[in-house]
Amino acid sequence: MENHFNLNNTFEIKNNCRIYDLQKCFAYLELHGKQTYGQSFKINNDDKPTIYKLLIYSIRDKENASKLGLDLNKGILLSGPVGCGKTSIMHLIKPFIYTKHDYKIKTTREISFEFAKKGFEALQPYIHKSNLQHRLTGYCFDDLGTEQQIKHFGNECNVMAEILISRYEHFIENQSVTHITTNLSATEIENAYGNRLRSRLRSMVNLITFDRNSKDKR
C-alpha cells in the first residue's frame, strides 16, 4: 500500500453518505500502524473481530451496530490483556470516529499524578463542561486500573471513580461520551471501584473485548 493512501480512500460518497469499504479501512489502520509504531505492526487475524466492532461503531454503521449489540450513543470500554494493542488501536481508530464522539487520550496514571500535585482542581477538565460546548470534552481514559490511590495533602480520592461517576451524570443529561481501555475484567472493576460505578458503566459504554488469549504484541 502506498504512503499516500489516506482516509478518503476508504469510502465513497453515495446519496450524500459515506459508504465505507471495510477491507480498505483495515488496510488504512495497518498502514498507519506501521507508520506510527514501526514496520513490525500488524493486525492479527484473531484481533480482526474486535477491530471490526470498533470500525462499525466509529463509522456509525447503524445496521451492523444493531446486529452486534452496539449502542452508537454510548462510549466504548475496550478490555483485554496487557500488550494486546488496546491503546494503539484507540489512537489509530480516531480518524474514523464521528465528531460527537471524538476524544483525547489520557492515561489514568497521569490523572492520578495530577491529583497528587493539584488536588481536586486537577479533576475539573474531565468533569466540567467548557464554555464553548454543551457537553464534556470527549476522553479515552487509558489503562483504567493502573492508577494508584494517591493523596493530596492527606486527602485520599478514588480519582477515576469520581471522574467516571461525574461523567455518567453528564452522559444522562447531555449524551457526553466517554471511552476507556483497561486490563481489568468486570469483576475486577467492581472490586476496585465499587458496584455503583460498574452499574453506571453498563449504561454509558459498550463493552468490546480482545480475546484474553491475545498475544502480547510489544
Per-residue pLDDT of the chain (218 residues; tens, 9 = 90+): 445 578 999 999 999 999 999 999 999 999 999 999 999 999 999 999 999 999 999 999 999 999 999 999 999 999 999 989 999 999 999 999 988 788 999 999 999 989 988 888 999 999 987 655 667 889 999 999 988 665 544 556 789 999 999 999 999 998 899 999 999 998 899 988 889 999 999 999 999 999 877 666 66
Nearest to 58 by CA among 35, 33, 32, 76: 76
For the chain, give every domain's residue range. Answer: 72-209
133: helix, strand or coil? coil
pLDDT at 1: 44
Q: What pLDDT score was predicted for residue 5? A: 72
Matching residue, cell 499524578 = 113
Q: Are strands 17-20 and 11-14 parallel, antiparallel or unpaired?
A: antiparallel
Considering only CA atoms, give the Rg of the chain. Answer: 18
Contacts of 88 (CB under 8 A, 6+ apart): 33, 36, 37, 41
Which residue in this structure is represented by grid cell 472493576?
189
Confirm if 78 and 54 have CB atoms less than 8 A apart.
yes
Check residue 70 and give left, alpha or beta (phi > 0: left; psi -120 to 50: alpha).
Answer: beta
Where residue 195 falls (left for φ over 0; alpha for ψ -120 to 50; beta otherwise) is: alpha
Q: Which fold is adopted by the domain 72-209?
A: Rossmann fold (3.40.50)
Question: pLDDT value at position 4?
Answer: 57
